[in-house]
């Protein structure tokens, strides 16, 4: 676990609030050397605090208007590996998590429409180790994906 000092927290807040600021802009805003900002960003990335510099894409804007959550029960003898590999090969599977409770995996998928969703569901459940599935369609995100509130000082 990375220990964050005040400068780290300020850098993270700045890039969270304005991802386009760049290292030079951040150094000017923070009043520190450009090299200091870059070395801090490198260290935060190496520590896994900054997980990605990729843009956050909106599936709905890309034509995937339906989001659904699936619960999967899988055969225990094979473990999670084979099903996880199968799910990774399906582009519409955005996430899969091992969970507690009656199910083994919680999977977030997207689809263009309900016909496409059925195709995605059929593909997900086509693996021999998937014993049972259930799905729910998201009507609206009440709290969208976020990480900013986790930052100390927010």
- Model pLDDT for residues 7-56, shown as the tens digit of each residue: 999 999 999 989 999 999 999 999 999 999 999 999 999 999 999 988 88
Structure tokens that stand for 25 in this block: 């802009």
Q: How confident is the model at residue 84 (pLDDT cuts 50, 70, 90)?
A: very high
Of residues 137 and 3, the one with the higher pLDDT is 137
Q: How confident is the model at residue 151 (pLDDT cuts 50, 70, 90)?
A: confident
**Taking the mean position of all CA atoms in its chain, how far away is CA 23?**
24
CATH value of 60-138 in 3.30.70.920, 3.90.1150.10, 2.120.10.30, 3.40.50.300? 3.30.70.920
Q: How many percent of the chain have pLDDT more than 90?
A: 82
- Closest by CA position to 11, among listed 52, 40, 51, 35: 40
Q: What is the pTM of this model?
A: 0.84
Q: Quick one: pLDDT at residue 154?
A: 63
Q: Quick one: pLDDT at residue 56?
A: 86
Domain locations in the chain?
6-46, 60-138
CATH assignment of 6-46? 1.10.10
Structure tokens that stand for 21 in this block: 């600021």
Of residues 152 and 87, the one with the higher pLDDT is 87
Residue with tokens 């930052």, as numbered in its chain: 151
CA distance between the termini of the chain: 19
């Amino acid at each position: 676990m990375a220990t964050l000092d005040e400068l780290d927290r300020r850098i993270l807040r700045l890039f969270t609030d304005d991802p386009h600021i760049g290292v030079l802009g951040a150094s000017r805003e923070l009043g520190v050397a450009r090299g200091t900002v870059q070395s801090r960003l490198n260290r935060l990335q190496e520590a896994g605090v900054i997980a990605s510099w990729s843009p956050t894409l909106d599936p709905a804007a890309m034509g995937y208007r339906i989001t659904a959550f699936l619960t999967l029960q899988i055969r225990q003898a094979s473990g999670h590996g084979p099903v996880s590999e199968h799910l990774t090969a399906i582009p519409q599977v955005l996430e899969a998590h091992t969970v507690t409770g009656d199910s083994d995996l919680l999977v977030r998928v997207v689809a263009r429409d309900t016909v496409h969703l059925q195709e995605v569901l059929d593909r997900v459940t086509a693996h021999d180790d998937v014993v049972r599935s259930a799905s729910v369609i998201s009507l609206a995100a009440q709290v969208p994906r976020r990480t900013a509130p986790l930052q100390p000082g927010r």
